[in-house]
């Protein structure tokens, strides 16, 4: 019992560090952007109205929608938009047209994650370093260069892994939330009437009396829930209970206390509106708060970078991106991965955002569209999971969905007003990623269509080879094929050039499924084709590690395949060259883009963990 309690406490502290880093640093800029927007005067009624909006936005979107409801939609213990998409697609399996639409919407939501991933670290670290300008205006010119330096160091250390420093994330964020609560309490004690802002009637009164202004301010108010998606995305790492305990026990109270404290400060010192968070700290503690805030924003950025690695790997296994180089940074934790292309791509995008926008205020104008659109997509997908997958009654599900859609659409519509002020930036990144993903997915379908008319039935082909008495040599040959029951092109090329067949031949097809994990007892199936030939199908979820040799070894231990030493086994793969042709499939420029992506994809041998010294690649041309 004591062990369970300590484990739960450790997971809760870990969730505090990883899950709530992003939303925990939103106090740095949320209220500042609301009142510096120029849309609302700094009056007592407006402060109470805005604070009430913030409190109930956090309550409805984070506490009610994500923590209470969305966390229930786990895909075999895993969360995140990819997991939700897989659940929704499975729920509408019998409706192919609706399924295609949901897949497109869900993949676009995943693409928006990359736009969010560029803006979030930039605005978080900039807002923390801007505290130096509050300490002394002389430091203003150093804010952008110092921000770029911090971010570059953060990305440079990714290849070493985060296991060593990761254990400090929880304690540092715990200290951060404790500091938020302490600063908030100090100012609330000086103006306790601010606690009336907890009443929703102030928000309703503000919206009723000034609906136009309230609508404009929603674009800035939404900054208080940045990072809400992380609650669901990290479900598989920590579990529901630790995430909920960390939120209701620490993160939510600390955030709301700090926002109320900022409101109390603004009522007493209106000139603090330029940066109310750092104005809360006593002069002697300002520099330590800047350092702590910077550490908190770095941790928030780290969580997002790690999430980008994980999401990219999942999308690759779903078949929407080409294979990329994946390096494991931990010998014990398979989730600790590093993707060089994603790492430096994010780094370049974030550096560009910092240089282009120059301040957290300018970045706030770009922020919100991608986040609110992702929230809207999550609501839509959740409806299909709950109604079609879980078969809940239509009326309560429709009512709840309508309520959350009304909230999401309101925030999204307000943020659309920021489109020309920088909102286009994350949308452009998301649209670019969506183009790449759709091009890759469609291109792979065209490749299969091109190969299908020329495919030979495997059983008939093997029968023909036995009649022709093809020379057989010692050893085991493993042929990778995309289609079950057809002759792999690598086998045809091997026979053409080497004129031999191995003593034992295993034909392997790897299938990736729209579930997080495939149980080990369902991972592999083997069918004896006779004369020492076997057809093997391997099944992997989008969070499984596609390790072909290990899967074949398990089949050998179960007696479904003959035992073969590593030195006696050769893996044959087809390395195809794609030729784009006008008038077939996609537009010619997209086919050329696909051909380029196909050519630059990392080796299938590395992705499937095949021993490099035992791999033989045989190429051919495919016209699409």
272-328 pLDDT per residue, tens: 888 898 889 888 888 888 889 888 988 888 878 888 888 888 888 888 989 888 877
The helix/strand/coil state of 13 is helix
The helix/strand/coil state of 477 is strand
**Which of 568, 503, 575 has its CA nearest to residue 323?**
575
One DSSP character per residue, 343-399 reads: HHHHHHHHHHHHHHH-SHHHHHHHSSHHHHHHHHHHHHHHHHIIIIIS---HHHHHH
Name the average pLDDT for the chain. 85
Instruction: Please tell me the least confidently modeled range out of 436-445, 449-458, 530-539.
Output: 449-458
587-598 pLDDT per residue, tens: 888 888 888 888
> Residue 2: is its pLDDT beyond 50?
no
One DSSP character per residue, 423-445 reads: IHHHHHHHHHHHHHHHHHHHHHH
Say how far apart CA 537 and CA 534 lie, in whole Å.
Answer: 10
Q: 490 and 573 in contact (C-beta within 8 Å)?
A: yes
CA-only gyration radius of the chain, Å: 27
Spatial neighbors of 109 by CB under 8 A, at least 6 apart, are 81, 85, 373, 374, 377, 378, 381
For the stretch 91-96, contacts whose Cβ atoms lie closer than 8 Å and that sit 24 or more positions apart, written own/partner, are: 91/384, 91/385, 91/388, 91/389, 92/384, 92/388
Say how far apart CA 553 and CA 42 lie, in whole Å.
Answer: 69
> Residue 117: is its pLDDT beyond 70?
yes
**DSSP β-ladder status, 472-480 and 501-513:** parallel
All structural domains of the chain, each given as residue ranges with its CATH number in brackets, are 2-417 (1.20.1740.10), 451-623 (no CATH)
Say how far apart CA 352 and CA 198 lie, in whole Å.
Answer: 39
The helix/strand/coil state of 478 is strand
Mean pLDDT of 93-107: 88
452 or 344: which leads in pLDDT: 344
What dihedral angle (degrees, nearest 10) is formed by the CA atoms of 536, 542, 544, 549?
Answer: 30
């Amino acid at each position: 019992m004591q062990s369970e309690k300590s484990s739960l406490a450790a997971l809760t502290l870990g969730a505090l560090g990883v899950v709530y880093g992003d939303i925990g640093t939103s106090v740095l800029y949320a209220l500042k952007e609301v009142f510096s927007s120029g849309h609302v005067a700094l009056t007592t009624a407006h402060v109470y109205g805005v604070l009430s909006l913030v409190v109930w936005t956090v309550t409805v979107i984070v506490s009610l929608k994500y923590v209470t409801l969305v966390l229930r939609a786990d895909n075999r213990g895993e969360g995140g938009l990819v997991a939700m998409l897989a659940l929704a697609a499975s729920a509408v399996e019998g409706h192919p047209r609706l399924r295609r639409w949901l897949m497109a919407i869900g993949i676009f939501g995943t693409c928006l994650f990359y736009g969010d991933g560029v803006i979030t670290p930039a605005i978080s670290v900039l807002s923390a370093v801007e505290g130096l300008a509050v300490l002394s205006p002389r430091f203003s010119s150093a804010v952008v260069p110092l921000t770029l330096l911090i971010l570059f160091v953060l990305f440079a250390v990714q290849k070493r892994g985060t296991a060593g420093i990761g254990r400090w994330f929880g304690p540092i964020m715990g200290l951060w939330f404790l500091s938020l609560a302490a600063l908030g309490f100090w100012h609330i004690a000086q103006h306790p009437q601010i606690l009336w802002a907890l009443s929703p009637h102030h928000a309703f009164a503000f919206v009723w009396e000034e609906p136009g202004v309230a609508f404009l301010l929603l674009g800035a108010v939404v900054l208080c829930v940045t990072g809400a998606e992380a609650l669901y995305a990290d479900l598989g790492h920590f579990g529901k209970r630790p995430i909920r305990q960390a939120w209701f026990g620490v993160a939510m109270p600390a955030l709301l206390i700090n926002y109320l404290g900022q409101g109390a400060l603004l009522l007493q010192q209106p000139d603090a509106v330029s940066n109310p968070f750092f104005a809360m700290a006593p002069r002697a503690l300002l520099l330590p708060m800047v350092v702590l805030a910077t550490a908190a924003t770095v941790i928030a950025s780290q969580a997002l970078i790690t999430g980008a690695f994980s999401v990219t790997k999942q999308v690759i296994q779903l078949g929407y991106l080409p294979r990329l180089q994946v390096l494991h940074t931990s010998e014990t934790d398979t989730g600790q991965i590093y993707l060089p292309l994603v790492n430096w791509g994010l780094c370049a995008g974030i550096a560009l955002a910092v240089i282009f926008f120059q301040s957290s205020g300018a970045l706030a104008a770009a922020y919100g569209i991608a986040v609110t659109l992702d929230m809207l997509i999550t609501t839509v997908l959740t409806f299909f999971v709950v109604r079609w997958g879980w078969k809940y009654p239509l009326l309560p599900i429709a009512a709840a969905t309508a309520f959350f859609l009304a909230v999401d659409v309101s925030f999204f519509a307000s943020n659309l007003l920021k489109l020309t002020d920088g909102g286009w930036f994350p949308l452009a990144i998301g649209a670019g990623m969506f183009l790449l993903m759709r091009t890759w997915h469609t291109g792979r379908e065209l490749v299969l269509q091109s190969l299908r008319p020329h495919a030979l039935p495997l059983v008939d082909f093997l029968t023909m080879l036995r009649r022709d008495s093809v020379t057989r040599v010692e050893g085991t040959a493993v042929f990778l094929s995309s289609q079950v029951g057809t002759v792999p092109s690598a086998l045809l090329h091997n026979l053409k050039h080497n004129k031999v067949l191995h003593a034992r031949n295993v034909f392997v097809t790897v299938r990736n499924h729209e579930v997080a994990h495939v149980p080990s007892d369902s991972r592999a199936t083997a069918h004896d084709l006779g004369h020492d030939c076997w057809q093997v199908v391997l099944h992997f979820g989008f969070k499984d590690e596609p390790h072909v040799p290990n899967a074949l070894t398990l089949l050998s231990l179960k007696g479904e395949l003959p035992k073969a030493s590593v030195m006696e086994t050769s893996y044959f793969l087809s390395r195809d060259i794609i030729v784009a042709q006008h008038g077939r499939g996609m537009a010619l420029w997209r086919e050329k883009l696909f051909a380029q992506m196909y050519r630059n994809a990392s080796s299938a041998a590395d992705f499937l963990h095949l021993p490099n010294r035992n791999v033989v690649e045989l190429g051919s041309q495919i016209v699409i």
